[in-house]
Amino acid sequence: MYRLMRQVGWLALLAACSGKLTNHNLAKVHHGMSAAEVRALLGAPTRVETSETLGIRGSSYLYVTGRHQVRITLVNDAVIGKSGNFE
pTM given for the model: 0.75
Domain ranges of the chain: 2-84
* Per-residue model confidence as pLDDT tens digits over 14-62: 444 457 899 999 999 999 999 999 999 999 999 999 999 998 999 999 9
Pick the CATH number of 2-84 from 3.30.300.30, 3.50.50.60, 3.40.50.2000, 3.30.1450.10: 3.30.1450.10
How far is C-alpha 26 from the chain's CA centre?
10
> HEC states along 19-46?
CCCCHHHHHHCCCCCEHHHHHHHHCCCC
